[in-house]
Structures are given as C-alpha cells and as structure tokens.
A and B are shown apart, each in its own frame.
Chain A
C-alpha cells in the first residue's frame, strides 16, 4: 500500500517564475492538505481540497492556488515566486468519514529553492 507521494523531490526556480508541485494521496484517502515549512519552523497550513474543491484556506496570498483531480491527487501552484517562498512543501492526505476526522499522513515533501 503506497503512502503519500510527492514530486518533484527538489526544485530550483528563479524569482518571478511559476511552479507546480504534485501529490498523490494514500490509498483510500479523499482529502489533501498542503503545508509550507520554512527552515527551523513548524509547518503552516496553506489549503485543503476535498471533492475537487478548496474547502478551507490558511493565511496565504492568491499566488498560491491548487487543484484536486477525480482520482484525489492534487497540485499546488505558486505564481510570481518570491525568495520567501523557499521552503519545504508538504502534502498530507486523510479520510473524511461523515465528519469524523482521522490522522493526516504526510508525504516526503518537495524542497523548493527560489533564487
């Protein structure tokens, strides 16, 4: 049973460029959440997708957008990259079962460096 997978592992981009990160949830999970983790900090919630819609969002600008596909996989897009966007981006999946929340399982992350 594959866990949460993310691609790519590492990415280097230039300021002003756009980037797309990908995530495949754990088998049986239907909810995907994205987090940004700066060096030495705890992860910060970006947004969550359920049934192909953004269900809730953290305090991130509109430059951060996402998508969820019918197979529950998800993409995170960041436009007009800033140096401050350099971070580890983590995807987490979970199962939403009649409003009961279960554990979130995290992928290995994508390390984004903006130069």
Chain B
C-alpha cells in the first residue's frame, strides 16, 4: 500500500519558474526522503529530512516537513529543463529500518 500521496500528479512550468510539490502521509515517521527519477530509470536521492527537522536546503532545493499535518513539500527554485523528471517522496513509517514507502509521484515538465 502507498503511504505517501504527492500533489499535484503532474506539473508543467516554464524554465526559471519555481516548482512546488507536496506529499502527505498517514502514519508517524522517523524521516522522509525525496527522490527524482528520469524516464523510468533509477532513483536519485535528493534530500532526507528527519522528523525533528522542519526545513532543509540543498542547492536549489528546499524541503519542509510538518509532522503535525503529516505533510512535506519540495520546492525547486529557478527550474531548468534538466529538472524535468518524476519526483517521489518516501517515508520509513516509523521503523527507521529502511523499508521505504513511496507515493505515486509528481511528474514535472519544465519547458525551455
């Protein structure tokens, strides 16, 4: 069963704009991770945020976590055509054992 749900399912923006994707989950977690996947290939790890953290940055990426609302958001600033991909959030469902539960993903298209 899917733990996370990403919103929106699909997003299309122009190069240079910001892209925001949201993820909601159902049970308590130890951490939440965001991954990127290009054209059905392997997943690339973007950011891990732990349950005691509220915000984390990595380059043009900003992730927030609200454990009271069981939600997270991924913001990509100044998007580029190369950011076109599917983005997934994944949670460990509280066990801290590495059994990741993924959502269905957000497909982002960045038009040049």
Chain A contact residues, CB within 8 Å of chain B: 4, 31, 33, 35, 39-45, 48, 55-56, 58-59, 88, 90, 92, 94, 96, 99-109, 111
Contacts and interface: CB of A to CB of B under 8 A. Distances in A.
A106 B35 contact: yes
B42 to A, nearest CB: 4
A56 B99 CA distance: 8
B100 interface: yes
Contacts of B44: 106
A103 B102 contact: no
Interface in B53-109: 88, 90, 92, 96-105
B43 A43 contact: yes
Contacts of A90: 42-43
Interface in B1-57: 1-2, 4, 30-31, 33, 35, 40-45, 48
Contacts, number: 70
Given A39-B40, A101-B98, A108-B41, 8 more contacts: A41-B104, A42-B90, A42-B104, A43-B100, A101-B30, A101-B97, A104-B45, A106-B44
B41 to A, nearest CB: 6
A99 B103 contact: no
